Amino acid sequence: MPGFNPPVTRSTRSLLKLTLSTVLAATLLPTTALAQDTIRFGAPLPITGPLAPEAVKQQQGYDLWAETVNSAGGIKVGAKKMKVEIVYIDYQSNTPRAVQAAERLITQENVHFLFSPFGSGAAKAASTVSEKYGVPTIAATASSAQVYDQGYKNLFGTFTPNGTLTEPLSDIVTKKAPGVQRVAILARNDLFPLAIAQEMEKSAKARGLNVVFFEKYAINTLDHSSAIAQLKSVSPHWIFATGYINDLVLIKKQMADQRIEAAVITMIAGPAYQEFIDAVGKGAENVSSAAWWHPAARYKGTDIFGTTERYTKLFRDRYKADPDYGHASASVSGVLFQMAIEKAGTLDRAKVREQLSAMNVQTFWGPVKFGPTGQINSLEPPVFQIQGGRTVVVHPAAIKQGEFKLTVK
């Protein structure tokens, strides 16, 4: 059936693929029985399509949290503990399908709570569904203020506003390289990438820098050579490109093809991922970026992971790699639901929403407190740079690992 995407229901006791017999058993098991034994969380993800790499990260983060919870007996709800089950639906990197997936998870899959689709645009679109049905929803990957300005009560986000990334970046660059005056911005024409590019423009102009180039590229663009040639013609000192990992890998490779040099090259959000470093190779050296979390952080939380170090160790043990902010934001979204449910002592959605609204806790992700719109306002995101083939944090001072370096002098 065209457009039909069956949900992937993953028992978080194991990451083995579901066999036919498992699928049949799950199909035959009454929803009421499932509801008595488990807390069901819905997760619409772009498992296929251009955003698939980001979906993998979110799924790993959600699954690590669920496995950790279940191995400890489950979430305490009043006097009993209940296991966690996550229901995934692939929306194929298509925002209208993300909205449909969110509604299906609520009305047909009978999930108790919801994780937002990936990115600001899809999260905003799907938030109308969770608000309609009164389902508390946590967005693990939505930073744009436009997501949270709708007056909704059920949407909460783990990313601080975009300016919290561009402001420290701009301070660092202007202090390190006062000769940097000409800024060129190339942005994916999508809610988050465009919003953070606009914040970069504001941050640059506030410091007296001259934005000499600001161009948008369409979603799914497969050739940036023309835009890059135009960018090169204005001789920028600082190149700031936004998009998702596949976009930025392609942009960086095509910049190398045209031998573009600039004192500072910043990309958001790809360089936070090891996949970017692996794909770009030596061309990734000294590319700077910013994100909402880094494993170099040293937070002590009261959540099930406890500390940043323990979370990182559990992730390494499970996936044989270091976590990045994409993984951690998904895991902390589960953590926050868990803490709110346990504090409420019930699965009543209104009471869980009240606990999320009033939340002020310490976690492995850092301090979490939601502002009046539901967006977190308690974090200081790290700025980092790729040096020697790995990410090195250059801000804030508490977790600093090295000094900011210019791409070329």
Is the separation of the CB atoms in 341 and 284 below 8 Å?
no
Q: What are the mean pLDDT values of the chain's consecutive 10-residue runs (409 residues total)?
A: 46 32 31 63 97 95 98 97 98 97 98 97 97 98 94 97 95 95 97 95 98 97 97 98 96 96 94 92 96 93 97 98 95 98 98 98 97 95 95 93 89
CA–CA separation, 194 and 268 (whole Å): 11
- 331 Cβ partners below 8 Å, 6+ apart? 61, 62, 64, 65, 305, 311, 323, 364, 365
Is the separation of the CB atoms in 196 and 163 below 8 Å?
no
The SS3 call for residue 361 is strand
Report the candidate in 395, 323, 380 with the shortest Cα–Cα distance to residue 159. Answer: 380
Q: Which residues pair with 238 in a beta bridge?
A: 183, 264
Structure tokens at 42: 């819905």
CA–CA separation, 216 and 139 (whole Å): 25
Amino acid at 306: G
DSSP class per residue in 315-346: HHHHHSS---HHHHHHHHHHHHHHHHHHHHTS
Domains of the chain: 8-160+296-369 (3.40.50.2300), 163-291+382-399 (3.40.50.2300)
* Backbone φ and ψ of 144, nearest 5°: -70, 135
Evaluate if pTM is beyond 0.85.
Answer: no
Structure tokens at 116: 């937002």
**CB neighbour burial string for 322-338, b if at least 16 within 10 angstroms, e if fewer:** ebbbbbbbbbbbbbbbb
The SS3 call for residue 180 is coil
DSSP class per residue in 235-261: --SEEEEE--HHHHHHHHHHHHHTT--
Burial of 401 (0-12, 13-18, 19+ CB in 10 A): middle
**CB neighbour burial string for 306-318, b if at least 16 within 10 angstroms, e if fewer:** bbbeebbebbeee
Amino acid at 337: F
Separation of CA 406 from chain center: 27
- 162 Cβ partners below 8 Å, 6+ apart? 143, 144, 145, 192, 195, 196, 199
CA–CA separation, 270 and 240 (whole Å): 12
- 281 Cβ partners below 8 Å, 6+ apart? none
- 252 Cβ partners below 8 Å, 6+ apart? 241, 267, 280, 283, 284, 287
What is the model's pLDDT at position 272? 87
What is the model's pLDDT at position 170? 97
